[in-house]
Homo-oligomer: A and B are copies of this chain.
Amino acid sequence: MPPNIATPPEVSPPARIDSAVVAQTPAFSPLYQQIKGLILQSLQAGEWKPGELIPSEIELAARFRVSQGTVRKAIDELAAENLVTRRQGKGTFVATHNEEHVQYRFLQLHPDVGRQQDEGRAQRHILECKRVRATVDIARSLGLRSGDSVLQVRRILSLGGVPTILEDIWLPSQPFKGLDAEKMTHYPAPMYAMFEMEYGVRMVRAEEKIRAVLPDIQQAQWLQTDENTPLLSVERIAYTYNDRPIELRRGLYRTDSHHYRNTLS
């Protein structure tokens, strides 16, 4: 009898019997990990949308026929991974890229003086937005086959009125049907907020590789700088649920009045 819990558990013996048997065989995860996986599935399936309230711990405990403590531990991990947000007295909410206080959750570029907020929202300018065939390296990064259709976007972000970030972005065509320059230009929220609201694609995690480079003439012009001013090259692969890569981004950052910030521990 596998210790894994049934998927919607119908009638079954008291929870203590199910759980007393958990983790006997090394191949099976602890109960709270299984619960975490089930909640993850619901998140992924869109059962609760970004910003929405998920069921209370007690409800989830009843649904999965485990104790509240076990559900709590599952949710604790999800909260630690920034997939949900707990608010005492209110409930647990699905995390989003559209909260007031954490806009541009993944943008690590900060002004040397003053706070991020002081600059107001970044100005976006779309230079290009078209569907193309994925090159070999783009395809590999996104887990596609080379030649698959991808949406390629080139844009400039201006911070405090100064063009500071030049980015090329590649997205698999399929989940982003209907996305075009028009929509990106006028959408009243950051790109990742649009992705989750309009296309149900949630950016959950990202990896960045950073180098120092010199721009070519064209790039320097776009950023209103010159060929001899070094820039940060930031290559990001963003992942959605299940560690599936969903975006490749190659950015050039001016660092004359901003810096990339990182915390180590």
Which of B206, B230, B265 meets A264, CB within 8 Å?
B206
Q: Which residues of B contact A205 (CB under 8 A)?
A: 263-265
Query: Does the CB pair B209–A212 fall under 8 Å?
Result: no
Indicate if A63 sits at the interface (CB-CB under 8 A).
no
Q: Which residues of B contact A236 (CB under 8 A)?
A: 264
Q: Mark A220-232, 1 if CB is under 8 A from B, else 0.
A: 0000000010111
Indicate if A214 sits at the interface (CB-CB under 8 A).
yes
Stretch with Cβ within 8 A of B (4 or more), from A128-136, A163-171, A193-201, A254-262: A254-262
Query: Does the CB pair A211–B262 fall under 8 Å?
Result: no
CB distance from A257 to the nearest CB of B (A): 10
CB distance from A192 to the nearest CB of B (A): 11
Which of B80, B214, B262, B265 meets A204, CB within 8 Å?
B265
Indicate if A82 sits at the interface (CB-CB under 8 A).
yes
Which of B80, B208, B212, B262 meets A212, CB within 8 Å?
B212
Indicate if A99 sits at the interface (CB-CB under 8 A).
no
Indicate if A52 sits at the interface (CB-CB under 8 A).
no
Q: Which residues of B contact A206 (CB under 8 A)?
A: 263-265
Tell me, in angstroms, the Cα distance from A206 to B211 when the chains sit together.
20
Given A82-B265, A265-B81, A265-B82, A260 and B211 touching (CB < 8 A)? yes
Given A265-B82, A265-B206, A231 and B212 touching (CB < 8 A)? yes
Instruction: Give the contacts of A93-111 with B (CB-CB under 8 A).
Output: 105-106, 108
Query: Does the CB pair B212–A263 fall under 8 Å?
Result: no
Tell me, in angstroms, the Cα distance from A236 to B262 when the chains sit together.
9
Tell me, in angstroms, the Cα distance from A211 to B254 when the chains sit together.
8
Indicate if A127 sits at the interface (CB-CB under 8 A).
no
Q: Which residues of B contact A207 (CB under 8 A)?
A: 261-264
Tell me, in angstroms, the Cα distance from A261 to B228 when the chains sit together.
25
Q: Mark A44-59, 1 if CB is under 8 A from B, else 0.
A: 0000000000000000
Q: Give 23 A-B contacts (CB < 8 Å), ordered by A residue.
A: A81-B265, A204-B265, A205-B265, A206-B263, A206-B265, A207-B261, A207-B263, A207-B264, A208-B263, A210-B210, A210-B255, A210-B259, A210-B260, A210-B261, A211-B232, A211-B259, A212-B212, A212-B231, A212-B232, A230-B230, A230-B231, A232-B232, A262-B262
Chain A residues near B (Cβ < 8 Å): 80-82, 105-106, 108, 204-214, 228, 230-232, 236, 253, 255, 259-265
6 A-B pairs besides A205-B264, A208-B264, A212-B230 with CB distance below 8 A are A205-B265, A207-B262, A208-B261, A209-B259, A211-B232, A212-B231
